[in-house]
Structure 1
Amino acid sequence: MASQTGGMFRLPAWRRLLQPLGVVTAMSVVNFFLLRLAPGDAAQVLAGEAGAATPEYVVALRAQFGLDQPLWVQLGRYLWHLAHLDLGYSFRQGMPVLDLIVQRLPATLLLMGASIAFAVVVGAALGVLAAMRAGRLLDSLISIAALLCFATPLFWIGLMLVLVFSVWLDWLPVGGMFTVESGLTGWAYALDVARHLVLPAVTLGLFYMAVYVRLMRASMIDVRRQDFVRTAVAKGAPQHRVLTRHVLRNALLPLVTMVGVQASSVIGGAVVVETVFSWPGLGRTAFDALYQRDYNLLLGILLCSSVVVILVNGIVDLVYARVDPRIRLPR
């Protein structure tokens, strides 16, 4: 495994750059055809909203959106505009797709980052506690809690958290990203956003926290049985040094790998969480664009999601190389 990962880091720079570009292009083509397989289009949706729309009006709308062209012509135009960083125009939102994504992307990245950080920190800590008390009551309680979080739907967790912490206790806001009428600035605004972020981030992070708890527990138990750990203990190394420098550092490797693998599913989960909490991110925007058949906007969001996943995996590779001293990045 280490040799394969090291080989990946020894790829030439042009191949490391060409690979993500190829992945993004392939995903763009696949997304284009998948959306075209869905019934209906933006012209039919707008015509239906207009009520008594004539066939001539529908034809005019399809010509305006370029939907009357052959499929291969539409694909060619889409890839040509994509090469020039032109994601098209959202007729439903009345603005360029790129501008809309730039407005909504920071909220989604904030939610993703907070939920992943919560899941990794809490999941790793609980996994270490469960491994240190393997077979005891604390291990059983942590495992049961992790199983419940893993098996419970995200939307139900979100609704229950809102019911408890927003309705009953009135500790946290029900939804949104900030208090609109407050007019806060500076640190007060940051604290207000943090209060609104707690429930969505915890809701999205609980599922992944459960996965990391089980993964960290199994990894810790496996590493503690290795010969190098027994050797360190036999040499009289302090227990905290054995735990942090030998056991914990090596046990983190599978968890770091899993974070990169689950980056795409975090974006998918953000669709549900952003809808429940009215969080103004790309997930909720994609949900609305799907029902409105806003293909340009939906393609732009899917493309942005692919780029985010590739960047997250690149960061994970850097962290992996930092945690595992056997891996060296090229200079």
Structure 2
Amino acid sequence: MLRYFAYFVNRLVQMVPIALLIILANFFLLKLAPGDMADVMAGEMGAATPELMASLRQQFGADQPLPQQLLHYYEKLLSFDLGYSFRNGASVATLIAERLPATVLLAGSGLLLACLAGVGLGWLSANTRRAWLRHAISTFTTVGFATPLFWTGLMLIVLFSIHFRWLPTGGLEDIDAEYQGYARLADIARHMIMPVLSLAFFYLAIYTRITRNAIKEVQGMDHVRTARAKGLGELRISIVHVLRNALLPVVTVTGMQVGSILSGSVVVETVFAWPGLGRLAFDAVMQRDLNLLLGILFCSSLVVMIANIATDLAYARLDARIALK
């Protein structure tokens, strides 16, 4: 365990310059976008004098040269200050802390469901002798991958919320009901069903195909033939000797999909009015809230980098031949 901890700390130190470069790239890319918060507020007021615009930009710090703004932002980060959202009247750290659990719940559940279902379908497709079943799995997963996230979400709403009236159309929970304890957990679970299914359905095909191809490759290896020659049962060989080694590509894809699923959650959170970081980022873009958007992008980047470290640790755990350096 000590070498795992040392590797984790070493990778965290290596993340520091990468994080600084990410902040630099995000800052200048956002500054290239036309307009700022002062323009948005002036548009909402219908008109604004040059004096008012100058006053707003001075209040937001947008009147300073770009290098000075960037340096000021770095200085605040060193004191663990992500800035202040003038639009929402709260600190960026507070807004992110309020929305982060909902996004982690949605993205984590969607990724876990896609991974488990994809591995299961991939294993079934690789081991079944029924051609129609293989074709059915391939067709099902391909349709999921080819279907846009927003369309899947809208169709689920039309079917289960409007037509059958089984599930709520959106939100994290029914606030008016004031549920407590297990009743609240059950209410949140009902609200999660459609968003999680929408997110998982898109990534299901990736896991299914990677698992199937990996199993087919591992089935021809020497250790599998040796296990079969020893008289072990096919089910035990398939699960213990084949599936465990076939999980390495799945772990790789999972680490890579963290960033993708966070971006996909923006669409799902918008469709289902899910109060997460994706919805907050969308609102920040529309309002030109630079401080809030920079904070969300920075935190999302940290999550992706930590997920990559966790992927390397899982690799070393599954395959003893891989050395941590």
Query: What aligned pairs does 1:238-253 form with structure 2 within 5 A after superposition?
Result: 238-253=233-248
- 1:326 is aligned, of 314, 321, 325, to 321
* CA deviation profile, 1:212-267 (whole Å, cap 9, x unmatched): 01111111111111121111101211222211111000111101110001110101
Note the residue ranges of structure 2 that are not aligned, 5 or more in a row: none
Query: What aligned pairs does 1:194-233 form with structure 2 within 5 A after superposition?
Result: 194-233=189-228
Identity of aligned residues (%): 51
- Say yes or no: does 1:316 pair with 2:311: yes
Q: Quote how far apart the aligned CAs of 1:316 are.
A: 2.3
Q: Quote how far apart the aligned CAs of 1:13 are.
A: 6.5
Q: Which moved more, 1:293-302 or 1:221-230?
A: 221-230
> Residue 165 of structure 1 corresponds to which residue in structure 2?
160
Q: Quote how far apart the aligned CAs of 1:163 are.
A: 1.1
Q: Note closer, same or farther for the CA distance 1:12–1:237 as it changes in structure 2 (3 Å cut).
A: closer
- Say yes or no: does 1:98 pair with 2:121: no
Q: Which whole-Å CA distance do the structure 1 matches of 2:27 and 2:211 have between them? A: 39
Q: Quote how far apart the aligned CAs of 1:102 are.
A: 0.4
- 2:107 is aligned, of 105, 112, 123, to 112
Note the residue ranges of structure 1 that are not aligned, 5 or more in a row: 1-7
- Say yes or no: does 1:190 pair with 2:185: yes
Which secondary structure does the structure 2 equivalent of 1:188 belong to? helix
- Say yes or no: does 1:156 pair with 2:151: yes
- Paired residues of 1:271 and 1:284 also in contact (CA < 8 A): yes
- Paired residues of 1:175 and 1:196 also in contact (CA < 8 A): yes
> Residue 274 of structure 1 corresponds to which residue in structure 2?
269
Q: Which amino acid aligns with 1:67?
A: A
Q: Which whole-Å CA distance do the structure 1 matches of 2:113 and 2:200 have between them? A: 6
> Residue 286 of structure 2 corresponds to which residue in structure 1?
291
Q: Note closer, same or farther for the CA distance 1:201–1:213 as it changes in structure 2 (3 Å cut).
A: same
State how many pairs are aligned.
323
* CA deviation profile, 1:98-118 (whole Å, cap 9, x unmatched): 000000000000001100110
- Paired residues of 1:10 and 1:329 also in contact (CA < 8 A): no
Q: Which whole-Å CA distance do the structure 1 matches of 2:19 and 2:129 have between them? A: 44
Q: Which amino acid aligns with 2:37?
A: A
Q: Note closer, same or farther for the CA distance 1:14–1:315 as it changes in structure 2 (3 Å cut).
A: closer
Q: Which whole-Å CA distance do the structure 2 matches of 1:11 and 1:184 have between them? A: 44
Q: Which whole-Å CA distance do the structure 1 matches of 2:84 and 2:7 have between them? A: 37
Q: Which whole-Å CA distance do the structure 1 matches of 2:129 and 2:64 have between them? A: 64
- 2:52 is aligned, of 54, 57, 64, to 57
- Paired residues of 1:176 and 1:196 also in contact (CA < 8 A): yes
Q: Which whole-Å CA distance do the structure 2 matches of 1:108 and 1:321 have between them? A: 28
Q: Which whole-Å CA distance do the structure 1 matches of 2:125 and 2:107 have between them? A: 26
- Paired residues of 2:8 and 2:309 also in contact (CA < 8 A): no
Q: Quote how far apart the aligned CAs of 1:12 are.
A: 6.1
Q: Which whole-Å CA distance do the structure 2 matches of 1:326 and 1:194 have between them? A: 41
Query: What aligned pairs does 1:168-179 form with structure 2 within 5 A after superposition?
Result: 168-179=163-174
Q: Quote how far apart the aligned CAs of 1:317 are.
A: 2.5
Q: Which whole-Å CA distance do the structure 1 matches of 2:308 and 2:238 have between them? A: 27
Q: Which whole-Å CA distance do the structure 1 matches of 2:150 and 2:324 have between them? A: 41
Q: Quote how far apart the aligned CAs of 1:135 are.
A: 7.0
Q: Which amino acid aligns with 1:281?
A: G
Which secondary structure does the structure 1 equivalent of 2:210 belong to? helix
Q: Which whole-Å CA distance do the structure 2 matches of 1:141 and 1:228 have between them? A: 31
Q: Which whole-Å CA distance do the structure 2 matches of 1:329 and 1:202 have between them? A: 36
> Residue 139 of structure 2 corresponds to which residue in structure 1?
144
Q: Which amino acid aligns with 1:122?
A: A
Q: Which whole-Å CA distance do the structure 1 matches of 2:52 and 2:129 have between them? A: 69
